[in-house]
């Protein structure tokens, strides 16, 4: 349903019969997205049960609360971090900075604070309100960042010491995604979008350059970070230069048409805020596998999201993806279908409110 600035990024392999209601936001016209990504699916090894013993299916792990921030700079670039190829989760993928709620660091602060802390730990960007005393020097920020990451210092203590206030008000809710029960590691991730008005960084704040980020764990989580326009990130994805997961692709695609051009404008921000304040910002997405004989005959698996006609939505609604897996269990082909207007046609009753801490 989103039209990208560069048309070659969009492909339309499936015809959708239902057209959306027209509205004042051209970024919401219905369409079908096709994209490719490579990632190793999580797998577990188990021994064969002894004869006569019935092995029950393990109870799914409760998803851990986490938060992620989509940081947009004045050039309409978004911050992406490159996960370590050896990481236990999201290995080698390009993602928005984020991570789990940490009771020691974040208690009494909530998920927006979690997102701010994770952005600082993973990239060096510090999302705070302007202060009359200004920011500490870069060397001190770097030292604090590593100490906070290593749990040797609390971010809140550091902010109080330097009379800095985290800009939690600037984080706009931008959907929540919950890992399916079949995976051993599950997350309930609240995505936020925020605009970087001024440099709040121990490193960089713009430009399509890659910064290698020293971390106290030797780069076990993030090895690089950079700002890049959503459309360019999608082009790199299509050319197999980077790996994206479905939530990141979904949100990059949405933002690529909302943030057209090299300069962020008040009108663009207002459209993003409209999405955040509306039903889109409150969507909680639980991917759900369904049986589709036609798709399976062609080698696909089908996953639906809330709002799809097979997942509580009205007849004809499409909010799903089709996946094809290659050798080794990696997904090589995905088609995402979303044929309703995200400003005016989301069936809000199908989406539960995000959990609050």
**Tell me, what's the pLDDT at 28?**
41
Give dist(CA 260, CA 255) in Å, integer.
8
DSSP of 245-259: -HHHHHHHHHHHHHT
**Tell me, what's the pLDDT at 24?**
33
The answer to whether residue 40 scores a pLDDT higher than 90 is no
User: What is the value of pTM for the model shown?
Assistant: 0.80
What digits encode the pLDDT tens for the residues 198-213?
Answer: 545 545 666 655 555 5
Q: CA-CA distances (angstroms) from residue 162 to 105, 106, 198, 278?
A: 17, 18, 18, 36
The answer to whether residue 48 scores a pLDDT higher than 70 is no
The answer to whether residue 9 scores a pLDDT higher than 70 is no
pLDDT band at 220 (very low <50, low <70, confident <90, very high): low
The answer to whether residue 276 scores a pLDDT higher than 80 is yes
Average pLDDT rounded to a whole number, residues 243-265: 90
Q: What is the mean pLDDT of the chain?
A: 78
**Tell me, what's the pLDDT at 256?**
92
Average pLDDT rounded to a whole number, residues 21-44: 36
Domain map (residue ranges) of the chain: 64-285
Q: Which among 288, 65, 71 is positioned nearest to 170, based on CA atoms?
A: 71
CATH topology of domain 64-285: Nucleoside Triphosphate Pyrophosphohydrolase (3.90.79)
**Tell me, what's the pLDDT at 253?**
86
């Amino acid at each position: 349903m989103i039209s990208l600035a560069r048309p070659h990024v969009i492909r339309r392999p499936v015809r959708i019969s239902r057209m959306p209601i027209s509205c004042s936001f051209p970024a919401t016209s219905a369409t079908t997205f096709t994209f490719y990504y490579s990632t190793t699916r999580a797998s577990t090894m188990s021994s064969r049960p002894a004869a006569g013993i019935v092995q029950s299916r393990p109870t799914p792990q409760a998803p851990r609360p986490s938060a992620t921030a989509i940081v947009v700079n004045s050039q309409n670039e978004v911050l992406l971090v490159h996960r370590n190829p050896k990481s236990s989760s999201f290995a080698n993928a390009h993602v928005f900075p984020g991570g789990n709620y940490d009771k020691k660091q974040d208690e009494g602060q909530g998920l927006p604070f979690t997102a701010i802390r994770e952005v600082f730990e993973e990239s060096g960007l510090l999302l705070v309100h302007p202060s009359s005393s200004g920011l500490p020097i870069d060397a001190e920020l770097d030292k604090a960042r590593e100490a906070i990451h290593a749990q040797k210092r609390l971010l809140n203590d550091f902010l109080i010491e330097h009379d800095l206030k985290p800009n939690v008000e600037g984080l706009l809710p931008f959907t929540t995604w919950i890992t399916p029960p079949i995976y051993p590691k599950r997350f309930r991730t609240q995505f936020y979008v925020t605009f970087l008005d001024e440099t709040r960084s121990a490193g960089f704040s713009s430009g399509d350059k890659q910064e290698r980020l020293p971390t106290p764990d030797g780069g076990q989580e993030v090895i690089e970070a950079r700002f890049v326009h959503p459309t360019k990130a999608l082009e790199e994805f299509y050319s197999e230069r980077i790996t994206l997961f479905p939530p990141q692709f979904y949100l990059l695609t949405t933002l690529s048409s909302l943030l057209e051009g090299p300069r962020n404008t008040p009108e663009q921000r207002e459209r993003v805020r409209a999405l955040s304040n509306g039903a889109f910002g409150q969507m909680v997405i639980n991917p759900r596998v369904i049986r589709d004989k036609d798709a399976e005959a062609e080698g696909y698996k089908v996953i639906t999201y809330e709002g799809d006609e097979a997942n509580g939505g009205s007849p004809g609604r499409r909010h799903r993806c089709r996946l094809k897996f290659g050798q080794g269990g990696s997904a090589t082909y995905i088609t995402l279908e979303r044929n309703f207007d995200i400003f005016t046609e989301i069936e809000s009753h199908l989406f539960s409110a995000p959990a609050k801490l």
